[in-house]
Amino acid sequence: MIRLEKRPQPSRAWTVATPILAVILTMIFGGIMFSLIGTSPFEAIRTIFWDPLFHPQFAAFSRPQLLVKAGPLILIAIGLSIGFRAGIWNIGAEGQYIIGAICGAAAGLALYPMESALILPLMIVAGALGGWAWAMIPALLKVRFGTNEILVSLMLVYVAENLLASVSSGILRNPEGMGFPGSRNLSQWSSSQNLELIPNTGMHLGVLTAFIAVILAYVLLTRHIQGYNIRLTGEAPRAAKFAGVSPARTILFCLGTAGVLAGMAGLFEVTGPAGQVSIDFGSGYGFTAIIVAFLGRLHPVGILLAGLLMALTYIGGELAQLMLGVPGASIQLFQGMLLFFLLGVDVLTNYRVRFGASEVA
Amino acid sequence: MDLGNINPVLLVASLMISATPILLAAIGEMVVEKSGVLNLGVEGMMITGAVIGFIVAINTGSPLLGFVIAAVAGAALSLSFGVLTQIFLSNQVATGLGLTLVGLGLSSLLGKPYEGQKTATLPKLDIPILGDLPVVGRMLFSHDIMVYVSLCLILAVWAFLKFTRAGLILRAVGESHDSAHALGYKVVRVRLLAIMFGGACAGLGGAYLSLVRVPQWTEGMTAGAGWIALAIVVFASWRAGRVLIGAYLFGGISVLQLNLQAAGMTWGVQYLSMSPYLITILVLVFISSNRSRSSHDAPANLGQTFHATR
């Protein structure tokens, strides 16, 4: 007879070991999936996890991509993790990311073709505000009416996607683009371009911001009273209330932070790697960031590592599509499996597995 | 724009068609939530049902078999959620999201070779006498069998929860799992069964999309229908009859929206397409603003992990 016994404290060793265990399990079951669709599992796993970094021919090209993809994932996941810690389930980061990109790009394009060093900072602020405002909708509705933030934030993703489709073929469309949807190329306009800070590393302003966010989140959660209040709200909501922590303020803070970070991530994406506001610039970072947040155990340093790993699966996935003809969706399934296994093995962190019949207390 | 082209009889008839997928998914999710489990993976189970149903229907030529297998696939997928949340005691919100991500990935992987293909769809039933009635016949009595199955399901769930002993146990498990456990009911078993029922219903709903409503397979074709089904359960304050009202209301909105697009309303197609989502938000706000009532309606142990210490 196997039974579970709750640990008085989550196990530290398992907190670190479970993500690794989940990755190994995903590799095994992912390998089975790849062999089912007729690809050699060992070759597929090697192409996804090893070749982007060490392949003699492709690595020089794909290594910088690691930071390009990890940047937005980390930035968004940091924001989400703060909310998840407090039990606030913002799953609409994709929407906040899109609206941030639209607002930031609109603020910049309004000044086109002026040249000024202040335009990019202005766009970053506008992007952050756009993401913040979009996140304030579920936040205020939750504070004022107690509306479920999960459903509202998610519904707003679909609204944001429709808005994106509307503006990229409407008011933000490139007047010189011969009628094709999509805005002017922001990465080619010297005032708005978000270039690599160090050549051939993929390190652009967004990645730098992500690293700063990791540090700030670490300080917030471990050294600041607001971070303590957030953790308290998540772990013991009633105790937090008695201690005088305002639930409304926590909700506004958590969703607001997530919105600001996601909005900035969107803006950095359209001024850098994506280059323009178009219908499909998003790549689903807002949803993948949820996996990153959990894989990183909602801890800033963990998220940093998880973001890099997830970026690796993106690049490795593209490489596997190219070299092995693996369908793109299999990578999506692969990432979903990772989250699933992680949540499954998480039981080891909080519970002890006991064998044998239960003793009489 | 010519609003005269919108025929009210056809509008009601197509309303029933467009509401059926959400209705099926929502009634299943309502039973799951009544047992105290919040499964946010409805979207993932729906789209898996959609692709499996479509593949089976194409390969066997039988849409009915497609529905059956889609229900089985939905139940199987939901069982993975059940095992994780009930046996491995994982967080229900996170696991539900994971289920949605897995379902979306799985469905686009499986459905890739079937994009753009056509399948046989369900025939319209010829109900004697009722179907020949002048206006009402066209409106209500000339649909395919799944529309009536979904309506019967609503009735069955209502009767099950209200009149049967098993329904009472299910509600008890959802209201207070510790008390139900102390009385000797198998909390985990009841919840696993409820989760599988929810999965099967979501699978049916998805298959209805790909086999009847569209009928085709396109990647991501559920487009949030699973999430709207979740919202409808809240809207319905966990009552079967109101799930029906909610689903038909949303069916009506999406049909009207499509009709307006078809009637030549060319400006702002995107604004019309976002209306169902905006209206969902508005309805959620309206329901939750009535706070004293809504907090009583939700099952007391909704979303909480059950761990039997003794």
Amino acid at position B128, single letter:
P
Q: By percentage, how much of chain B surpasses pLDDT 70?
A: 87
B277/A346 touch (CB, cutoff 8 Å), yes or no? no
B101/A6 touch (CB, cutoff 8 Å), yes or no? no
Q: Which residue has the tokens 């280059």?
A: A275
Rounded to whole angstroms, how far apart are CA atoms A290 and A217?
16
Domain ranges of chain B: 3-127+136-297
Rounded to whole angstroms, how far apart are CA atoms A352 and B6?
63
End-to-end CA distance of chain B: 68
A256/A18: higher pLDDT? A256
Q: Using a CB-CB distance cutoff of 8 angstroms, which residues of chain B are in contact with residue A294?
A: 94
B125/A284: higher pLDDT? A284
Give the closest residue to A300 by CA, choosing from A87, A26, A85: A85
A66/B13: higher pLDDT? A66
Mean pLDDT over residues B255-278, rounded?
A: 75
8-state DSSP, B124: B
Mean pLDDT for chain A overall: 84
Answer yes or no: is pLDDT of B1 > 60: no
**Residue B144: what are its φ and ψ, rounded to 5°?**
-80, 170
Biggest CA–CA distance in chain A, Å, is: 79
Domain ranges of chain A: 38-326
Give how far Cα A212 sits from Cα of A199, A201, A209, A247, A288, Å.
20, 17, 5, 27, 20
B70/A179: higher pLDDT? B70
A337/B307 touch (CB, cutoff 8 Å), yes or no? no
Q: Which tokens in the block code for residue A167? A: 């503006």
8-state DSSP, B144: B
Rounded to whole angstroms, how far apart are CA atoms B86 and A180?
51
Range with top average pLDDT, A157-161, A174-178, A197-201: A157-161
B288 part of contact set with chain A, CB < 8 Å: yes
* Closest CA in chain A for residue B111: A329
Q: By percentage, how much of chain A surpasses pLDDT 70?
A: 98
Q: By percentage, how much of chain B surpasses pLDDT 90?
A: 22
Answer yes or no: is pLDDT of B292 > 70: no
Q: Lowest mean pLDDT: which of A153-167, A301-315, B56-70, B253-267?
A: B253-267
pLDDT of residue A361: 45
CB A14 within 8 A of CB A348: yes
pTM of the model: 0.87
pLDDT of residue B310: 58
Q: Which tokens in the block code for residue B297? A: 């309606």
Mean pLDDT over residues B258-271, rounded?
A: 70
Q: Which tokens in the block code for residue A40? A: 């050699």
pLDDT in tens, A215-252: 999 999 888 888 888 888 888 888 888 888 888 899 99
Mean pLDDT over residues A36-49, rounded?
A: 81
B99/A340 touch (CB, cutoff 8 Å), yes or no? yes
If one counts every other C-beta atom within 10 angstroms of the C-beta of residue A52, the result is 25
B277 part of contact set with chain A, CB < 8 Å: yes
Rounded to whole angstroms, how far apart are CA atoms B182 and B179?
5
A330 part of contact set with chain B, CB < 8 Å: yes
Mean pLDDT over residues A337-348, rounded?
A: 84
B109/A148 touch (CB, cutoff 8 Å), yes or no? no
pLDDT in tens, A287-298: 889 889 988 888
| Confidence band for A262, pLDDT divided at 50, 70 and 90 | very high
Answer yes or no: is pLDDT of A41 > 90: no
Give one DSSP letter per residue of A151-170, joined into a string: HHHHHHHHHHHHHHHHHHTT
pLDDT of residue A131: 94
**Residue A148: what are its φ and ψ, rounded to 5°?**
-60, 120
Q: Which residue has the tokens 């706070």?
A: B291
* Chain A contacts in chain B segment 216-235 (CB below 8 A): 219, 223-224, 227, 230-231, 234
**Residue A196: what are its φ and ψ, rounded to 5°?**
-65, 135
Mean pLDDT over residues B143-156, rounded?
A: 87
pLDDT in tens, B79-110: 999 988 888 888 888 888 889 888 988 888 88
Answer yes or no: is pLDDT of A129 > 90: yes
pLDDT of residue A259: 95
Q: Which of A159, A294, A331 sits opposite B277 (nearest CB)?
A: A159
Give one DSSP letter per residue of A258-325, joined into a string: HHHHHHHHHHHHHHTTS-S--TT--TTHHHHHHHHHHHTTT-HHHHHHHHHHHHHHHHHHHHHHHHH-
B40/A344 touch (CB, cutoff 8 Å), yes or no? no
pLDDT in tens, B7-50: 777 777 788 888 899 999 999 999 999 998 989 889 999 999 99
* Chain A contacts in chain B segment 31-60 (CB below 8 A): 40
B92 part of contact set with chain A, CB < 8 Å: no
Answer yes or no: is pLDDT of B297 > 50: yes
pLDDT of residue A360: 47
Instruction: Tell me the CATH architecture of domain A38-326.
Output: Orthogonal Bundle (1.10)
Element (H, E) at A203: strand A203-204
pLDDT of residue B5: 61
Q: Which residue has the tokens 């329901």?
A: B287
Mean pLDDT for chain B overall: 83
Beta bridge partners of A5: A352
A159/B274 touch (CB, cutoff 8 Å), yes or no? yes
Beta bridge partners of A203: A198
pLDDT of residue A198: 73
pLDDT of residue B29: 92
| Confidence band for B291, pLDDT divided at 50, 70 and 90 | low
Query: How many Å separate Cα B43 from the centre of its chain?
Result: 9
Mean pLDDT over residues A302-330, rounded?
A: 84
Rounded to whole angstroms, how far apart are CA atoms A148 and A90?
10
CB A173 within 8 A of CB A105: no
A360/B296: higher pLDDT? B296
B266/A21: higher pLDDT? A21
Q: Which tokens in the block code for residue B19? A: 């509401």
If one counts every other C-beta atom within 10 angstroms of the C-beta of residue A341, the result is 24
pLDDT of residue A156: 92
As a whole number of Å, the CA-based R_g of chain A is 22
pLDDT of residue B52: 92
The domain B3-127+136-297 having CATH identifier 3.90.1150: the answer here is no
Answer yes or no: is pLDDT of A55 > 80: no
Answer yes or no: is pLDDT of A358 > 60: no
Q: Lowest mean pLDDT: which of A86-90, B18-22, B271-275?
A: B271-275
A258/B252: higher pLDDT? A258
pLDDT of residue B2: 56
Give one DSSP letter per residue of B242-281, joined into a string: HHHHHHHHHHHHHHHHHHHHHTT--TTHHHHHTHHHHHHH
* Closest CA in chain A for residue B294: A146
Q: Which tokens in the block code for residue A96? A: 């906040």
